[in-house]
Structure 1
Amino acid sequence: MHRLTRVLLTAGAVCALAVTAHSTAGAVPKRGGAATTDEVLVAMQRDLGLSATQAKALRGQQDKAVKLDAGLRDSLGSSFGGSWFDIESGKLVVNVTDQARAAEVTKAGARPVVVKHSEAELDAVRAELDTLSGKASGTDRAANGKSALAGLSGWHVDPKTNSVVVSTVKGESRPAALDGLARFGDAVSYEQLDQAPRETANYMDGGDLINGSSCSAGFNLRNPSTGQGFLLTAGHCTGTGQANYGQGGVFFGYTVASWFPTFDDALIRNDNAGYWIQGPWVDYNPSNGGFINVSGYSDSPVGTVVCKSGITTLWTCGQITVKDETVQYSGVSSPVYGLTRHSACVEPGDSGGANVAALSVWSPEGVTSGASLLFNRCLSTYGLTNVSWYFPIADSLSYYGAVYGVTTW
Structure 2
Amino acid sequence: RAEGATPVLVEHALADLEAAGTSLDALAVDGLYGHYIDVERNTLVVEAADEAVAAEAVDAAGIDPSLVSVTAAEAPELYFVRGGDSYIIENSWRCSVGFSVRQGSTPGFVTAGHCGSAGDQVTSGEAAPGTFRNSVFPGSDRAWVAVGSSEPLYDEVNMYSGSRDVANANQAAVGSSICRSGSTTGWHCGTVGAFNQTVNYAEGTVTGLTRTNVCAEPGDSGGSFITGNSAQGMTSGGSGNCSSGGTTYFQPIGPALSAWGLTLVTT
What's the TM-score once normalised by structure 2's chain length?
0.63
One-letter amino acid of the counterpart of residue 146, structure 2: R
Q: Distance in 2 between matches of 1:246 and 1:209?
A: 7
One-letter amino acid of the counterpart of residue 295, structure 1: A
Instruction: Determine the structure 2 residue equivalent to 1:322.
Output: 194
Q: Distance in 1 between matches of 2:221 and 2:198?
A: 18
Q: Distance in 2 between matches of 1:242 and 1:30?
A: 19
- Are residue 238 (structure 1) and residue 116 (structure 2) matched? yes
Q: Distance in 1 between matches of 2:89 and 2:195?
A: 34
More helix by share: 1
Q: Quote the offset at 1:30 in angstroms.
A: 6.6
- Out of 363, 367, 370, the residue aligned to residue 230 of structure 2 is 363
Q: Distance in 2 between matches of 1:246 and 1:284?
A: 21
One-letter amino acid of the counterpart of residue 164, structure 2: I
Q: Distance in 2 between matches of 1:297 and 1:246?
A: 28
1:315 and 1:323, CA in 2 relative to 1: closer, same or farther beyond 3 A?
same
More strand by share: 2
Q: Quote the offset at 1:293 in angstroms.
A: 1.3
One-letter amino acid of the counterpart of residue 280, structure 1: D
Q: Distance in 1 between matches of 2:128 and 2:89?
A: 16
Contact 1:306–1:319 (Cα < 8 Å) also in 2 = yes
Instruction: Determine the structure 1 residue equivalent to 2:25.
Output: none
SS of the residue 1:396 aligns to: helix
Instruction: Determine the structure 2 residue equivalent to 1:397.
Output: 257
Please, which runs of 5 or more residues in structure 1 have no aligned partner?
A: 1-26, 32-207
Q: Quote the offset at 1:395 in angstroms.
A: 2.0
Instruction: Determine the structure 1 residue equivalent to 2:131.
Output: 254
Over the residues paired in the alignment, what is the CA RMSD in angstroms? 2.6
Aligned length: 185
- Are residue 281 (structure 1) and residue 141 (structure 2) matched? no
Q: Distance in 2 between matches of 1:284 and 1:212?
A: 25
1:238 and 1:363, CA in 2 relative to 1: closer, same or farther beyond 3 A?
same
SS of the residue 2:196 aligns to: strand
Q: Distance in 2 between matches of 1:213 and 1:255?
A: 14
Query: Percent of counterpart pairs with the same letter?
Result: 32
Render the CA deviation track for 1:113-132: whole Å, top value 9, x for unaligned.
xxxxxxxxxxxxxxxxxxxx
- Out of 241, 248, 262, the residue aligned to residue 388 of structure 1 is 248
Instruction: Determine the structure 2 residue equivalent to 1:181.
Output: none
SS of the residue 1:387 aligns to: strand
Which structure would you say has the larger Rg? 2
Instruction: Determine the structure 1 residue equivalent to 2:165.
Output: 293
- Are residue 406 (structure 1) and residue 266 (structure 2) matched? no
Contact 1:244–1:254 (Cα < 8 Å) also in 2 = yes
Render the CA deviation track for 1:173-209: whole Å, top value 9, x for unaligned.
xxxxxxxxxxxxxxxxxxxxxxxxxxxxxxxxxxx99
One-letter amino acid of the counterpart of residue 197, structure 2: E
One-letter amino acid of the counterpart of residue 211, structure 2: R
Consecutive aligned runs of 4 or more in structure 1 exceeding 6 Å deviation: none
Render the CA deviation track for 1:3-22: whole Å, top value 9, x for unaligned.
xxxxxxxxxxxxxxxxxxxx
Q: Quote the offset at 1:213 in angstroms.
A: 5.8
Q: Distance in 2 between matches of 1:281 and 1:245?
A: 22
Contact 1:298–1:394 (Cα < 8 Å) also in 2 = no
| Structure ranking higher on relative contact order (CA contacts 8 Å, 6+ apart) | 1
Q: Distance in 1 between matches of 2:206 and 2:222?
A: 15
1:228 and 1:260, CA in 2 relative to 1: closer, same or farther beyond 3 A?
same
1:259 and 1:216, CA in 2 relative to 1: closer, same or farther beyond 3 A?
same
Contact 2:181–2:224 (Cα < 8 Å) also in 1 = yes
Contact 1:28–1:277 (Cα < 8 Å) also in 2 = no
Q: Quote the offset at 1:407 in angstroms.
A: 3.5
One-letter amino acid of the counterpart of residue 171, structure 2: D
1:339 and 1:372, CA in 2 relative to 1: closer, same or farther beyond 3 A?
same
What's the TM-score once normalised by structure 1's chain length?
0.42
SS of the residue 1:214 aligns to: strand
Please, which runs of 5 or more residues in structure 2 have no aligned partner?
A: 1-75, 81-87
